[in-house]
Amino acid sequence: MDLFLLEKALLGLFIAMITAITVSKLRGKRFKLPPGPLPVPIFGNWLQVGDDLNHRNLADFAKKFGEVLLLRMGQRNLVVVSSPDLAKDVLHTQGVEFGSRTRNVVFDIFTGKGQDMVFTVYGEHWRKMRRIMTVPFFTNKVVQQYRYGWEDEAARVVEDVKKNPEAATGGIVLRKRLQLMMYNNMYRIMFDRRFENEEDPLFVKLKALNGERSRLAQSFDYNYGDFIPILRPLLRGYLKICKEVKERRFQLFKDFFVEERKKLASTTGVTNNGLKCAIDHIMEAEQKGEINEDNVLYIVENINVAAIETTLWSIEWGIAELVNHPEIQKKLRNEIDTVLGPGVQVTEPDTHKLPYLQAVIKETLRLRMAIPLLVPHMNINDAKLGGFDIPAESKVLVNAWWLANNPAHWKNPEEFRPERFLEEESKVEANGNDFRYLPFGVGRRSCPGIILALPILGITIGRLVQNFELLPPPGQAKLDTTEKGGQFSLHILKHSTIVANPKIV
């Protein structure tokens, strides 16, 4: 950092300190704020709390400060909600008041300051984007149209694993093949395209760029510049990399997928009687002037991030838990063989006839929630919550993981026990009918991808369990299920090597 920039930063810090003290005193007179640790000028609670605002750390704060608490992260207010009743208030009762999304300096780059659907503020643009995305992605008709493709992709995974001699001996990193499967599942819907194998050059490039985007967005490394705007100049290099990654991704989306589909449509024609993929519907909306070309690319961005990786994380968690609980794996295999018959492969309609499979999926989503804090909410205007004042533009986190793992509400929540969803919690569903269990959120800003994720999870886990005995690698009693969190994600730290012994029918 040059001397001029250092002087400027120090001067800014001094001004910010005076401003923070003044604003803090003024706000203290006007607001009855939620409890929380005592903040210090400029930094708020950042130095006490640190960057890692993961679900477990926030649950510990809730135990100390209560069901709604306030953390001042630099100049940002962070409100954490940790009870079913308050979650209902934020997501349902006051769904409009808390229906917007807060972003940060990195997400502003990747979403074009809210030109997408997932991270835009609540309003007309969100309603329009949600409507345009619903028909081609989030209906039962889409499930029935594409479930054959999902079944085909799962069958190809089984075939490839059986062909790999390492799978039954030393083991393989199954996630790599499942990642290709998930890309194909979603790219079939989006573009009627699939990648033939893991070495496909376009798949390799796409996977690398999406991975870099996720790493940059989910990292805690840029928090200091987001929490304290005067330090933002120090993020120039980081933000430059983010912009470069975004531009390269969007160029790839445009050149190899969107434009290719346009060319195909212009030469062969796509009629209402023909099979339309999602991008056809979205380009029609563009042609009608409802959205622009950038919005089209941001829709592709949302699906690449919100649909592919999150479902993959859940599949990976489910497999890891079944490997570490062989008795549950055996019970699930017995159910499939008994209900369907030995060797009869699981299809999407079959998943509804397999209650223990459904319970395994529910339990995976409870204990290992892919988005444990949901996507952050925001109130544009001053609001009330739990008897406290919530200042405008506060970042509101619902700790959905703690709602589903609080021993006050669940029996032995630290145990992976699918039976709970057939016994004491038999009426609880993943769609948000119980505010203790919100893996996809609920209300206006809930995740519409639930309609795709649940059948894909059922088909994939069902096929793997019925075709293989899944084991830890030689010399290892269990898989390492250490968690790796991000800004609001949760995945397994180490992608495990898994032995897959083919079952003889």
> What's the CA dihedral at 421, 427, 433, 434 to 10 degrees?
-70
Count, residues in the chain: 505
What does the angle CA 107 – CA 452 – CA 440 come to, to the nearest 5 degrees? 55
Q: Which residues are annotated as a binding site for heme?
A: 447
- Residue partners of 81: CB distance under 8 A and separation at least 6: 67, 68, 87, 90, 385, 396, 397, 398, 399
* DSSP code of residue 406: -
> What's the CA dihedral at 415, 418, 423, 427 to 10 degrees?
110
Structure tokens at 124: 């007309």
Which of 428, 445, 313 lies closest to 369 in space, CA to CA? Answer: 313
What does each C-alpha distance from 303 to 127, 252, 399 come to in angstroms?
A: 17, 15, 24
- Residue partners of 198: CB distance under 8 A and separation at least 6: 176, 177, 180, 204
Q: Are 446 and 117 in contact (CB under 8 A)?
A: no
**Strand duo 483-485 + 388-390: pairing:** unpaired
Structure tokens at 481: 């299920």
Query: Token match 């001397």: residue?
Result: 3
Query: Token match 């989910």: residue?
Result: 218
- Residue partners of 67: CB distance under 8 A and separation at least 6: 81, 82, 83, 85, 86, 386
Q: How far apart are CA 357 and CA 398, in angstroms?
A: 28
Q: Are 358 and 426 in contact (CB under 8 A)?
A: no
Q: Which residues are annotated as a binding site?
A: 447
Looking from the CA of 482 toward its CB, the CA atoms found within 13 Å total: 4
- Residue partners of 18: CB distance under 8 A and separation at least 6: none
